[in-house]
Structure 1
């Protein structure tokens, strides 16, 4: 009876966790094997080298934050406002490893130093913005208003986690709910 292999996806998840915690330099085969509690030999059954893992990590992240997220929102149906509300909750909740803002921020930081990563990030962001445009466009006739709402929505998703300011008597949740309500208004 052969040994049970660590699934390919577990290596990718461990790589994304390492990326989130310490950037691309933290994604090392030996460290990932240790985090998974396995030998590094199994890694080479799936990936030719570390670069192959990094590429698959980026592909997995991109697919999750675009197609899979959009698919989850669309699967539940509803009008554009309902789908936007669901998308906003999903995007800001960090419900999964790949939709977690720390992974997104780590990829953004990596993209500042690697043109190939920057291109992948641009593609994912353009896909996200196109989806937002399609939703806002269902109830906003003004293209400039649609673009402004998309930019504010996307900026809040990314930037909310970077802002340390207090909001007086309001909680961060209250402020975010007010933003959502204004963005979803006719």
Structure 2
């Protein structure tokens, strides 16, 4: 620029003056911190999707309402998922892994004989809560499977894996194959069906009857 006076050689500029006590690095750290806070973890989209599924079926799993529930913009969704279908698939993947391999790993980690492992499994089944392991997701996916063959196939795979694990434990102390199958079916049906039973249990509470049932299955 004509008339400009350069007080330093070309190619050199004064170091920027920071207005923060820690200099320029602090600004970078602050930016990273902001990004870390505002970026919603992928798993939260999946969990919120499962909550929506439990509340209103697959039709309720829509991007904009999920973003509103999470308090973020829709742009965050597309940072993880190509489309709504990708989220639905990951919801099913997450649920399948959680209710089969993850549960089995937790039961096996506690050690003990087959009865001890079954008792631990029953305890986990009766106390599991949340959008993934809770019964609401299980029931919602069963309802979804009635209208979607791909989901129905997934559900069969999950149920067969659960039954296979029950069978592997009951077989160790039940010699009669028929007895094994009866126990497997009763234990599994109890997990799913007890939420639909409104009847009173006579002189017993529901919790007392469930405890008696566990003892009977483990005898």
Q: 1:62 aligns with which of 96, 110, 117?
A: 96
In 1, the alpha carbon distance for the partners of 2:49 and 2:59 equals 11
Tell me the residue number matched to 2:182.
148
Aligned mate of 2:43, from 2, 6, 9: 9
Query: Would the aligned equivalents of 2:129 and 2:135 in 1 still touch at CA under 8 Å?
Result: no
**Deviation of residue 21 (structure 1)?**
1.1
Aligned mate of 1:103, from 129, 132, 137: 137
Alignment of 1:1-186 (within 5 A): 1=31, 3=35, 4-185=38-219
State whether residues 46 and 91 of structure 2, in contact with CA within 8 Å, keep that contact through their aligned partners in structure 1.
Answer: yes
Q: Which 4+ stretches in 1 moved above 6 angstroms?
A: none
Q: Where does structure 2 lack aligned partners over 5 or more consecutive residues?
A: 1-30
Greater relative contact order (Cα 8 A, min sep 6): structure 1 or 2?
A: 1
Which whole-Å CA distance do the structure 1 matches of 2:121 and 2:132 have between them?
15
- What's the Cα RMSD here? 0.9
- For 2:111 and 2:128, locate their aligned partners in 1 and report how far apart those are by CA, in whole Å: 21
* TM-score, normalised by the number of residues in structure 1: 0.97
Q: Which has the higher helix share?
A: 1
| 1:8-40 deviations in Å (ceiling 9; x for gaps) | 001001001111111111101001001100011
User: Whose radius of gyration is greater, 1 or 2?
Assistant: 2
CA contact (8 A) 2:48 2:131 kept: no
Alignment TM-score, normalising by the size of structure 2:
0.83
Q: How many equivalent residue pairs? A: 185
Q: Deviations over 1:110-146 (max 9, x none)?
A: 0000000000000000000000000101110111100
Structure 1 distance, partners of 2:175, 2:104, is 22
Q: Distance in 2 between matches of 1:159 and 1:31?
A: 31
Question: 2:173 aligns to what SS in structure 1?
Answer: coil
Instruction: Give the whole-Å Cα distance in 2 for the aligned partners of 1:92 and 1:116.
Output: 28
Determine the C-alpha separation between the residues in 1 that align with 2:128 and 2:57: 18
